[in-house]
């Protein structure tokens, strides 16, 4: 039976509701109030101003604002006291460029640290977006994200004196001069992210002179020639090139070759299998690559290219004398279905430094097991091997168990083996 409330308790409850509970929202500590607001969208945070007198202007203390134009909330930025991160998203509508410039100018007055500007509309594909000069007048900006559906034009003299992170997504420049203006105007840049970066003009050279860059991520077509200068601080790089050769395979291979040569000081390198496919067309010159003396981590990720030989991989491994961690997908072995697996020359890292091997996209095929068996024989100081099964093998528990037992027997207890 449900509990009942006796009549003597009712006056106490009414008194509690009318008194103690009345100003509970207003009496909430500022720290809790601001935390609650930080979990809300900008629109929802502003709406809380009607809850109580104390909450009326609390939203102005927020440090992060997100605006989806044409919503009128962008005008409220002028009322805010402190803004650290500003996100402006313009989706599928026509917007006056002056309105965007006005927002950016307001961001300058608030000493914004992190600015994200996204313009996503097919109507803008053939229009030109001029990077506002006001972007470079406030020294507080250290992160800039640009995602543009239009062409980007950068004026002379623009400079981001404190910018450390630059993220360009789907950006097309009007001309090569705009490219150089932007990169030369970032003297202290430490992190550069180029996602789906491709050219619009006839010249295909992108020069980046940034001695402070420690992290580089590049996703583009392989026919963009990146000239990287003074990368003396580079720590990690992630290179992903699309399988698209509008000019020639040899030219694309040369672009990748020069890009890798400039990254000779990198410590951690991730490349897609598309990138390796590009290098396949310059296999005769891979021995000219410089030694990667600092490289300790090398990861090859599986993209849609699947059929090429292991020669390119081993040519790279011969240039990595201090490699400690290697990650490869088993798609590299597809060409071995009807061939005998051999390794003619063992990279020195197999005997001196390689301690961890991660194999992904493992299907359990006979030639894959054969390849692993051959690798195991060449390792001297390997401590651990991790094998990630594909969905195909994971669906068959009995076959998966049999393959695991077979792989366990190959290692002979010389190193740990983990299945995922």
Residues 6 or more apart whose CB falls under 8 angstroms from that of 107 comprise 77, 83, 86, 115, 138
Give the residue ranges of DSSP H helices in 281-320.
311-317
Cα 213 from chain centroid (whole Å): 15
Cα 135 from chain centroid (whole Å): 24
Instruction: Give the angle 307-300-236 at the CA atoms, nearest 5°.
Output: 150
Q: Is the peptide bond before 70 cis (omega within 30 degrees of 0)?
A: yes
Spatial distance between the Cα atoms of 315 and 288, rounded to a whole number of angstroms? 10
Residue that is written with structure tokens 């420049």 in the block: 173
- Do 37 and 75 belong to one domain? no
| Token pair in block for residue 233 | 């601080």
pLDDT score recorded for residue 12: 44
- Residue that terminates a domain, selected from 203, 234, 262: 203
Residue that is written with structure tokens 């299998």 in the block: 273
Q: At what angle do helices 366-378 and 397-411 cross, to 10 degrees?
A: 20
pLDDT score recorded for residue 66: 60
- Do 54 and 109 belong to one domain? no
Q: What is the CATH number of the domain that holds 115?
A: 3.80.10
Residue 307 is assigned to a structural domain of this protein? no
The total number of structural domains in the chain stands at 2
User: Which of the residues in the chain have pLDDT under 50?
Assistant: 1-19, 21, 72-73, 203, 337-339
Residue 93 is assigned to a structural domain of this protein? yes
**Nearest C-alpha neighbor of 182 from the set 201, 205, 210, 154:** 154
- Do 71 and 191 belong to one domain? yes
pLDDT in tens, 12-65: 434 444 445 455 656 667 777 666 766 666 667 667 766 666 666 666 556 555
pTM of the predicted model, to two decimals? 0.77
pLDDT in tens, 346-372: 899 999 999 999 988 888 888 788 888
- Do 57 and 99 belong to one domain? no
- Residue that terminates a domain, selected from 203, 227, 250: 203
Residue 354 is assigned to a structural domain of this protein? no
- Do 56 and 115 belong to one domain? no
Residue 54 is assigned to a structural domain of this protein? yes
- Do 138 and 179 belong to one domain? yes
- Do 55 and 158 belong to one domain? no
- Do 47 and 73 belong to one domain? no
Residue that is written with structure tokens 């002979």 in the block: 412
Residue 340 is assigned to a structural domain of this protein? no
Residue 2 is assigned to a structural domain of this protein? no
- Do 179 and 129 belong to one domain? yes
Give the C-alpha distances (Å, rounded to integers) separating 21 from 11, 12, 16: 15, 13, 6
| Domain carrying residue 191 | 67-203
Residue 290 is assigned to a structural domain of this protein? no
Residues constituting the chain: 420
- Do 127 and 152 belong to one domain? yes
Residue 296 is assigned to a structural domain of this protein? no
């Amino acid at each position: 039976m449900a509990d009942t409330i006796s009549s003597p308790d009712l006056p106490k409850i009414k008194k509690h509701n009318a008194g103690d509970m009345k100003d509970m929202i207003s009496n909430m500590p500022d720290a809790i109030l601001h935390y609650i607001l930080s979990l809300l969208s900008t629109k929802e945070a502003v709406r809380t101003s009607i809850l109580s007198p104390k909450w009326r202007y609390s939203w102005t203390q927020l440090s992060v604002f997100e605006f989806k134009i044409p919503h009128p909330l962008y005008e409220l930025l002028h009322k805010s006291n402190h803004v650290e991160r500003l996100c402006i998203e313009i989706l599928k509508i026509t917007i006056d460029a002056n309105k965007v410039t006005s927002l950016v100018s307001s961001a300058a007055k608030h000493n914004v640290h992190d600015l994200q500007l996204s313009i996503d509309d097919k109507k803008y594909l053939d229009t030109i977006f001029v990077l506002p000069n006001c972007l470079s007048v406030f020294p507080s900006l250290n992160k800039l994200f640009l995602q543009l559906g239009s062409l980007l034009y950068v004026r002379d003299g623009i400079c981001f004196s404190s910018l450390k992170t630059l993220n360009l997504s789907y950006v097309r420049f009007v001309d090569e001069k705009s490219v150089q203006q932007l990169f030369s105007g970032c003297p202290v840049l430490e992190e550069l992210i180029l996602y789906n970066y491709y050219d619009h003009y006839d010249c295909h050279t992108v020069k980046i002179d940034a001695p402070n860059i420690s992290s580089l991520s590049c996703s583009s077509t392989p026919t963009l020639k990146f000239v990287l200068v003074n990368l003396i601080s580079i720590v990690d790089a992630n290179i992903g090139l699309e399988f698209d050769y509008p000019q020639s395979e040899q030219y694309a291979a040369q672009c990748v070759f020069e890009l890798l040569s400039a990254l000779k000081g990198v410590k951690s390198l991730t490349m897609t299998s598309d990138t390796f496919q590009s290098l396949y067309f310059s296999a005769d010159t891979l021995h000219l690559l410089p030694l990667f003396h600092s490289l300790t981590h090398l990861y090859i990720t599986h993209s849609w290219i699947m059929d090429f030989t292991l020669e390119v991989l081993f040519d790279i491994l011969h240039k990595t004398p201090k490699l400690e961690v290697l990650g490869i997908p088993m798609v590299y072995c597809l060409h071995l279905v009807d061939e005998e697996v051999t390794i003619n020359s063992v990279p020195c890292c197999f005997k001196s430094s390689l301690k961890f091997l991660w194999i992904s996209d493992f299907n359990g095929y006979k030639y894959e097991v054969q390849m692993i068996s051959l690798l195991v024989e060449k390792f001297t100081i390997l401590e651990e091997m991790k094998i990630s099964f594909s969905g195909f093998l994971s669906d068959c528990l009995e076959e998966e168990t049999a393959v695991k037992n077979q792989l366990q027997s190959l290692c002979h207890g010389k190193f740990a083996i983990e299945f995922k």
